[in-house]
Amino acid sequence: MKALCYNGVGDLRTERVPDPAILNPKDAILRVIYSSVCGSDLHLINGYVPTVMQGDILGHEFMGEVVEVGTEVKKLKKGDRVVVGSIIACGECSYCQSQAFSLCDNSNPHAWMLEKAYGDSSAGIFGYSHAFGGYAGSHADYIRVPFADRGAFVIPEGISDESAVFVSDAVPTGYMAADMADIQPGDTVAIWGCGGVGQMAIQSAWIKGAARVIAIDREPERLRLAREHGKAETLDFSKVNLQEALREMTGGRGPDRCIDCVGMEAVSDSFAYYYDKAKQYVRLESDRPLVLRDAIMACRKGGTVSIVGVYGGLVDSIPMGAAMNKALTFKMGQQHSQKYIPELFDHMQNGRLDPSFLFTQKMSLDDGMKGYDLFNKKQTMRVVFAPGGVA
Amino acid sequence: MANEKRPVSDVLGMGQIEPEASGSSQINVGASERILSAAGGALLLSYGLRKASFGGLLLAAVGGYLTYRGTSGYCPMNERLGRNTAQEDEIVDAIEISKSLTINKPREEVFKYWRQLENLPRFMFHLKEIKQIDPKRSHWVAQLADNPFAKVLGSVEWDAQIIDEVENERIVWKSVEGARIDNAGEVRFIDAPGGRGTEVHATIQYRPPAGQLGGTIMKLFNPTFKQMVKQDLRRFKQLLETGEIATIKGQSSGRTKENESLEKPSSEYATVQEKHESLML
Ligand SMILES: NC(=O)c1ccc[n+]([C@@H]2O[C@H](COP(=O)([O-])OP(=O)(O)OC[C@H]3O[C@@H](n4cnc5c(N)ncnc54)[C@H](O)[C@@H]3O)[C@@H](O)[C@H]2O)c1
Ligand SMILES: [Zn+2]
Ligand SMILES: [Zn+2]
């Protein structure tokens, strides 16, 4: 089959690789219909996530058709049209049973790698480095899905393939960001980053009862989409003094809930950005926590900072004094797809959530590198590969 | 070492049973005889050391065994012949490894699976086979690393004896005299508080084959060995909780076939690349 493989930093190639096979009884094989790029892939391609190997197939946000099931797959069957959560979870361990699927004890065959770096391991993730399991990703004609009964959800009638694909990752991530923020009636929610994840966090914040949503980015088109599809007020952080703007917009209080949908590759034109970039370059710091710092400073006393933007290693100069003395609550994590997907379908069917506008560009796998270039430069919201052809 | 930390088993009050100082951890080769075995052993040893896997460990153990039959001297042949040309009566310190994991299953179920010793090779990948000889005694066969030396040397085998057992609570065993790697161990099964499943605590002690110098070399393997015990426990947990062991072996990638088809890649036990580590930590 064809697959988009990592060959080095900034170097992806479409290659011929063997078709996947069932390796464990709870596996299924999917024919991939759509497979989307995600901001998380950029961290890998740009070299910020270690243990990516030459030949690894990327991609973790996908939907398709079940073509084969293992002997222990009970619910799924051949021909089912499904979307699969980007995080792999067994459903049986104590974390899975308390719905914290991204903390699954059993789905990461390379748990020891993460354990070394983090003190404990987290779940396996499709196409997301060997520390997160080394699973082959979805930018391919076919993909093997472990624990398929847990991870694959049959797409209800009335939800198009073009919307469903994002239920894999961008939608549950944005939704979990809003869920973790613990939004109370009357709250103002500030959201950093208007990529796919941020856009979904905006829509979800309304569902969770926000009175106001303020979206922050510097890409005019993305800010426009946040206004149009998210009914958010927007701030271009490259054009305003962000701290001042947020404080004055909220009568001097600061936003009640601050959500980071940017993560380790945040940009700005400030001195801090170049400082972090330089440290990152010489490996003194692995992540650029610009948004995290902003969120902590802006957040009102007693408020919540909810983090779904990904961090991988060490960050520097976190204003811990501000967080402590303002009594902030921090909530964070990789998304628990299996927990949220059923209720997301419901929100989508009832028109409360609509991810379809994230689908800005359809491409063939052969154009993989080109697609990621466009996406990396923020020239398109999300490139979606159609292995079956783009016609 | 002078300021070594208190062993975990001590904290947990486990593992008082020391492995028999029989086999290779004793010294019975005289000085003049020693030098001869050293060369061949050293070759195996260095080969095994480069393989950061348990197979490699065993290979190094066999190499170390030959080397130190030479350099520090124990020879099972000598022992069997009742020959002891050595003066001093030296016994090598045991090395200890302790690891725990919590399994989301009732204690009885966890104990039962483990006590059926034939099950162990299903999650202890370095074992080829265990045969129960009688209710207390079993025969263990371990795999050497997958390489030409290993093929010549065959497998490492020993007998073990359960010397203490309380149903659903603990199993204590010891290798019987003459094992190539003298070892002893204890596994405890404890209810985790608040219905959080079963804690499995494993403590394994082994005597490095071949004198104090052997001990120094085997210590190099300790992180690997610790890693291996943890991996074993993790696979045990996966099997019990999900009925399968998570794997990517045999999946597709843009790498060559031979890269992918390694039965148990040594990278599984190897350390994270340095470049990567600096990022992750
Ligand atoms: N927790 C999870 O499970 C999970 C799942 C998916 C994605 N993610 C993470 O969420 C983040 C966003 O993903 P995405 O797909 O939307 O990425 P994306 O690259 O499409 O969007 C990121 C956006 O952040 C903006 N940005 C950069 N610096 C900023 C700053 N200082 N302030 C405000 N905005 C800034 C960029 O202009 C861009 O529009 C990434 O870090 C990704 O890894 C996490
Ligand atoms: Zn993602
Ligand atoms: Zn689990």
A191 lines ligand 1 (CB under 6 A): no
Lookup: tokens for B150: 């290993």
How far does the centroid of ligand 3 lie from the alpha carbon of residue B105, in Å? 13
Residue of A nearest to B239 (CA): A106
A339 lines ligand 1 (CB under 6 A): no
Q: Could you give the angle at which helices B54-71 and B31-50 cross, rounded to 10 degrees?
A: 160
Helix (H) or strand (E) holding B73: none
pLDDT at B33 over 80: no
Judged by phi (left if over 0) then psi (alpha if -120 to 50, else beta), residue A235 lies in beta
Give A269's DSSP letter: S
Q: Which is nearest to B246 in space by CA: A337, A338, A134, A336?
A: A134
- Greatest alpha-carbon pair distance for chain A in Å reads 60
CATH fold of A171-332 reads: Rossmann fold (3.40.50)
Instruction: With CB atoms and an 8 Å threshold, state whether B244 touches A72.
Output: yes
**Which regions of chain A carry the CATH code 3.40.50.720?**
171-332
Ligand index nearest the alpha carbon of residue A99: 3
The burial of B190, by beta-carbon neighbours within 10 Å (0-12 exposed, 13-18 middle, 19 or more buried), is given as middle
CB B115 within 8 A of CB B171: yes
Which residues in chain B have Cβ-Cβ distances shorter than 8 Å to A115? Answer: 230
Tell me the C-alpha to C-alpha distance, in Å, between residue A7 and each of A387, B161, B253: 20, 51, 11
CB A43 within 8 A of CB A36: no
pLDDT for the residue numbered A275: 79
Q: Among A87, A104, A197, which residue has the most ligand 1 atoms within 8 Å of its CB, making it the best to mutate?
A: A197
A382: contact with B, CB 8 A cutoff:
no
Span A336-345, average pLDDT = 98
A303 lines ligand 1 (CB under 6 A): no
pLDDT higher at B24 or B143: B143
Minimum distance, in Å, between the CA of residue A79 and any CA atom of chain B: 22
Lookup: tokens for A80: 């089912």
How far does the centroid of ligand 2 lie from the alpha carbon of residue A173, in Å? 8
pLDDT at A13 over 60: yes
B100: contact with A, CB 8 A cutoff:
no
A195: contact with B, CB 8 A cutoff:
no
Residue found under tokens 């896997």: B53
Interface size between A and B, measured as CB pairs under 8 A: 137
**Which regions of chain A carry the CATH code 3.90.180.10?**
2-169+335-385
A112 → closest Cβ in B227, B247, B250: B227
Q: Which is nearest to A41 in space by CA: A379, A389, A375?
A: A375
A155: contact with B, CB 8 A cutoff:
no
Minimum distance, in Å, between the CA of residue B52 and any CA atom of chain A: 14
Span B47-65, average pLDDT = 57
How far does the centroid of ligand 2 lie from the alpha carbon of residue B205, in Å? 44
Lookup: tokens for B57: 């460990």
Which residues in chain B have Cβ-Cβ distances shorter than 8 Å to A18? Answer: 252, 257
The burial of A81, by beta-carbon neighbours within 10 Å (0-12 exposed, 13-18 middle, 19 or more buried), is given as middle
B248: contact with A, CB 8 A cutoff:
yes
Spell out which residues have Cβ within 5 A of ligand 2, the ion. A 38, 40, 169
Minimum distance, in Å, between the CA of residue A63 and any CA atom of chain B: 19
pLDDT for the residue numbered B59: 62
Residue of A nearest to B279 (CA): A286
Disruptive mutation site among B238, B251, B281 for chain A (greatest number of A CBs within 10 Å): B251
pLDDT at A349 over 90: yes
Q: Which residues pair with A29 in a beta bridge?
A: A68, A144
Span A186-205, average pLDDT = 98
CB B70 within 8 A of CB B38: yes
CB B269 within 8 A of CB B223: no
pLDDT at A299 over 90: yes
pLDDT at B95 over 50: yes
Which numbered atom of ligand 1 lies nearest the CA of A38? 15
Q: Which is nearest to A188 in space by CA: A274, A136, A249, A146?
A: A249
pLDDT range class, residue B262, cuts 50, 70, 90: very low
The per-residue pLDDT for range B161-171, each reduced to its tens digit, is: 999 999 999 99
Can you list the alpha helix ranges (DSSP code H) found in chain A?
A: 39-45, 94-97, 111-118, 148-151, 161-164, 170-180, 196-207, 220-230, 242-249, 271-281, 290-298, 320-325, 337-349, 368-376
Using DSSP bridges, classify how beta strands A361-363 and A383-385 pair: parallel, antiparallel or unpaired: parallel
Which residues in chain A have Cβ-Cβ distances shorter than 8 Å to B259? Answer: 55
B161: contact with A, CB 8 A cutoff:
no
CA dihedral B42, B47, B52, B58 (to 10 degrees): -60
3-state secondary structure of B104: coil
**Distance of alpha carbon B23 from alpha carbon B26, whole angstroms:** 6
Instruction: With CB atoms and an 8 Å threshold, state whether A107 touches B246.
Output: yes
**Distance of alpha carbon B209 from alpha carbon B74, whole angstroms:** 9
CATH H-level, domain A2-169+335-385: superfamily: Medium-chain alcohol dehydrogenases, catalytic domain (3.90.180.10)
Instruction: With CB atoms and an 8 Å threshold, state whether A313 touches B279.
Output: yes
pLDDT at A278 over 90: no
Nearest CA to ligand 1 atom 43: A40
B230: contact with A, CB 8 A cutoff:
yes
Percent of chain B exceeding pLDDT 90 equals 34
A9: contact with B, CB 8 A cutoff:
no
Instruction: With CB atoms and an 8 Å threshold, state whether B252 touches A17.
Output: yes
Instruction: With CB atoms and an 8 Å threshold, state whether B231 touches A112.
Output: yes
pLDDT range class, residue B239, cuts 50, 70, 90: very high
pLDDT higher at B93 or A381: A381
**Which regions of chain B carry the CATH code 3.30.530.20?**
2-24+92-242
Disruptive mutation site among B200, B226, B272, B274 for chain A (greatest number of A CBs within 10 Å): B272
Span A113-117, average pLDDT = 86
Minimum distance, in Å, between the CA of residue A39 and any CA atom of chain B: 19
A223 lines ligand 1 (CB under 6 A): no
A85 lines ligand 1 (CB under 6 A): no
A194 lines ligand 1 (CB under 6 A): yes
**Distance of alpha carbon A302 from alpha carbon B183, whole angstroms:** 56
Task: Give the sign of the dihedral formed by CA A6, CA A8, CA A11, CA A17.
Answer: negative
pTM of the predicted structure, to 2 decimals = 0.87
A92 → closest Cβ in B230, B242, B249: B242
The per-residue pLDDT for range A350-381, each reduced to its tens digit, is: 999 999 999 999 999 999 999 999 999 999 99
A124: contact with B, CB 8 A cutoff:
yes
pLDDT range class, residue A315, cuts 50, 70, 90: confident
pLDDT for the residue numbered B152: 64
Which CATH class for the B2-24+92-242 domain? alpha beta
